Structure 1
Amino acid sequence: MAIGQLIRDLRKARGWSQSRLASEINKIFGTGLTREYVSNWECCKVTPGPFYLRCLSAVLDVPLAVLEAEVKRRTFISDVAAAAIAPVVASDLLTVGFSARLAGGPSVDDWEGKLAAYGTDYMSLGAADIQRRVSGELMVVQQQLDNPRLWSVASRLMTLYAKTFPGADGSKAVSWYRMAARAADESGDEAARVWVRGRAAIALGYEGASLGVADVLADQAMAISDKPSLGLLNAIMGKAHAAALRGDTATARKLLEQGRRVFDATGSHEQTSDYAVPWWRMNVFTSLLAARLGDENSAVAAQDAARRELPASLPRFATHLEMHRGLMLARSGDHAGGVAYARTAMDELPPEKHSLTLRLLMKEVEDS
């Protein structure tokens, strides 16, 4: 398959026009790409060079190696089309779903093991990889929901699936977060009800997207239970970020102090799971919050504390911390320097490890 056809198929799988693809690349990388140039790629009149291959890798959520390797392209496009266009009607997913129903599907313990593995994978894999895999799991667990305990599993899978869509999209991410909350309610599992809402709140608040929804879900989590938990911690910190972005400094600071007290009671020993909040991750939350509040000393202290304990296997989170520094620079008056600092940090991270959240942070730096 020619590179032009690959680009065209990936673009169409996301429902984008040529102009939209050019716009996404320009927005993130500050280029002057035009629709006509994208058309030239797709017609094979021009072959994108190494720089634009990295840009395409980032905006289309496809590993750079896939763009460069002819032999793997056709299989990957089939997977992308199934996940991005209509996962619920893809033949392989339907087969898996019905087979699970007929065979009874994995046990609850097996599902908990799968969730633990996904929690770890999320920390290092790209959104597209997680999205394709979790869509298949949702087809399977959907066939087992006569077991109330599996509503809890489904709700946590839905939350992870929602995280693979940009919160700024509004429709997709938020609808999945809301559905996850309803699924958790079906389970009757209080911990799951709080965690799902709290995880959605911190995702949306950290990304600076759908702040009203972040507040609603955080408030719901806090109303369900005030018992210290990681779900409650996420809810509080998500609400704090929403307050900071609205300019409500006093509320944001009050919530940060509340979050620190909850963290002291519930912080995780597990270091590399999305279901955990260890000390370094709490400091990542705090670093961005302090940067948004203009509290440079607190931001730098949180960044230094996070770096001391951040596992070397999670370079994406080190990039988060560098992006926070870029935001601080931009907000302090050096807009050009802040944008350049943040973009350099993004460029140093391999494109296949970029996340939707990092791109939203880049946009926040540029708009600050």
Structure 2
Amino acid sequence: MDLGELIKSLRTAQSMSQGQLAKKINEVYGTTLSREYVSNWERGKITPGPFYLTALSAVLDVPLAVLEGEVERRAFMTDIVGAAIAPTVASDLLSKGFAARLKGGPAADEWEAKLGTYGTEYMSMGAADIQRRVSGELVVVQQQLDDPRLWSVASRLMTLYAKTFPGSDGAKAVHWYLMAARAADRSDDASAQVWVRGRAAIALGYEGASLGVADVLADQALEISDRPSLGLLNAVYGKAHAAAIRGDRATALDLDTKGRLIFDKAGSHEQTSDYAVPYWRLNVFRSLLLARLGDEKAAVAAQDQAARELPESLPRFATHLEMHKGLMLARAGDRAGGAAFARRALDALPPEKHSLTLRMLMDEIER
């Protein structure tokens, strides 16, 4: 996707016309941008300069590095090795990559089993542990992409890897989500294409980060297939959270209704995997959504429903629910009390079980 196409996708995902985008930039930055100028950007006739790239980044809620193309120019291997601070770790990663190329790596079925294991471990492991282990797997699978089936594996690993970076840091998380979507497209596996985009959308929407990208990826998932699936469910709730954060209550509630209908057909019985959305997890999504909308009664009902079925082996998600209560207190006017309530809930969880999403939620409540 070139810059013009990206600007158009981000704009249409927020239901803005070219004129509305120009007007919004003019209101925020005191410029005299015209609709025709926006049209020229989108058709590639004019490239926005640094000033307007910054304006577009703010108005469309997309990391500046994505618009500048910086993250697209980084090599796949460079990004992975750059995430490993210790030289000995980088050496191990390089060794794994060459060994996989020389000897061949796991078969497709073995990779699927690995993905299943990571999906379960993600629910309870800390981000640093997941990041370290998945980076090694990415280096290995990168050497096996002559097999189209492994593009599907790679795309799902990239999505998991992206989750180890906070969406608010912009370049890293969004770069990996976008690259995961492109990898899924190389697999010709529609279910992977939808799941990767949907998972990215709910991750960014739940975190309240890079909402423009969340909308674009969710819309792409909806365009690829309207068949009820967990990927589609994630995409719908990603858009719902983005709408709630922007204050679009009607859209958020409409998407919540649509999401529950999809869940009725596609909800999973598996309870403890990142690749699953059982009833309790649906209600964790809804708990935060309704708390953001200020619908206290419905949010409490969702929290109660989630708590009744939440496995005891997943205390991190119980912490999510408690922190949602802190958000409700803050939104009701007791900002100090809400922040203190959420902080106590977070502090009660062992630090090694903290996730980046919980830390970002704490930041949202304190704001």
TM norm structure 1: 0.77
The alpha-carbon deviation at position 84 of structure 1 amounts to: 3.3
* Other-structure match for 1:267: 267
Q: Please name the residue that 1:255 is paired with.
A: 255
SS in 1 for 2:143: helix
Match of 1:139 in 2: 139
**Take 1:88 and 1:203, find their aligned partners in 2: how far apart are those partners?**
31
2:37 alignment partner in structure 1: none
Partner of 2:39: none
**Residue 301 in 1 paired to residue 301 in 2?**
yes
The answer to whether structure 1 residue 171 and structure 2 residue 171 are counterparts is: yes
- Structure 1 residue 349: Cα displacement: 0.4
1:214-233 to 2 correspondence within 5 Å? 214-233=214-233
Change in 2 beyond 3 A, CA 1:226/1:212: same
Q: Deviations over 1:76-98 (max 9, x none)?
A: xxxxx984338898111111111
Deviation readout 1:248-274 (Å, 9 max, x if unpaired): 000000000000000000000000000
Q: Is the 8 A contact 1:88 1:94 kept in 2?
A: no
Residues 1-368 of structure 1: pairs in structure 2 closer than 5 A: 83-85=83-85, 90-367=90-367
State the AA in 2 paired with 1:352: E
For 2:102, give the aligned amino acid. L
Find the aligned partners of 1:249 and 1:226 in 2 and give their Cα distance.
Answer: 23
Query: How many equivalent residue pairs?
Result: 288
Contact map agreement 2:84 2:90 (CA 8 A) in 1: no
SS at match of 2:263: helix
TM-score of the two chains, using structure 2 as the length reference: 0.77
Q: Is the 8 A contact 1:325 1:338 kept in 2?
A: yes
User: Given residue 209 of structure 1, which amino acid in structure 2 is its aligned partner?
Assistant: A
Q: Distance in 1 between matches of 2:91 and 2:152?
A: 27
In structure 1, distance between residues paired with 2:155 and 2:83? 19
CA contact (8 A) 2:105 2:140 kept: yes
The CA distance in 2 between the partners of 1:178 and 1:172, in whole Å, is 10
- Secondary structure in structure 2 of the residue aligned to 1:144: coil
What is the Cα-based RMSD across aligned positions, in Å?
1.6
Gaps of 5+ in 1: 1-80
Distance in 1 (alpha carbons) for counterparts of 2:366 and 2:92: 42
Tell me which amino acid in the other structure corresponds to 1:215. Answer: D
| SS state at 1:90 partner | helix
Once residues 346 and 90 of structure 1 are traced to their aligned partners in structure 2, the CA distance between those partners, rounded to angstroms, is 33
Return the letter of the residue paired with 2:289. Answer: L
Paired with 1:334 and 1:143, the residues of 2 have a C-alpha distance of: 54
1-structure distance, mates of 2:161, 2:257: 30
Report SS of the residue matched to 2:236: helix
The residue matched to 1:239 in structure 2 has which SS? helix
Structure 1 residues 192, 88: CA separation in 2 closer, same or farther (over 3 Å shift)?
A: farther
For residues 87 and 164 of structure 1, the distance between their equivalents in structure 2, rounded to whole angstroms, comes to 20
4+ residue segments displaced more than 2 Å: 81-89
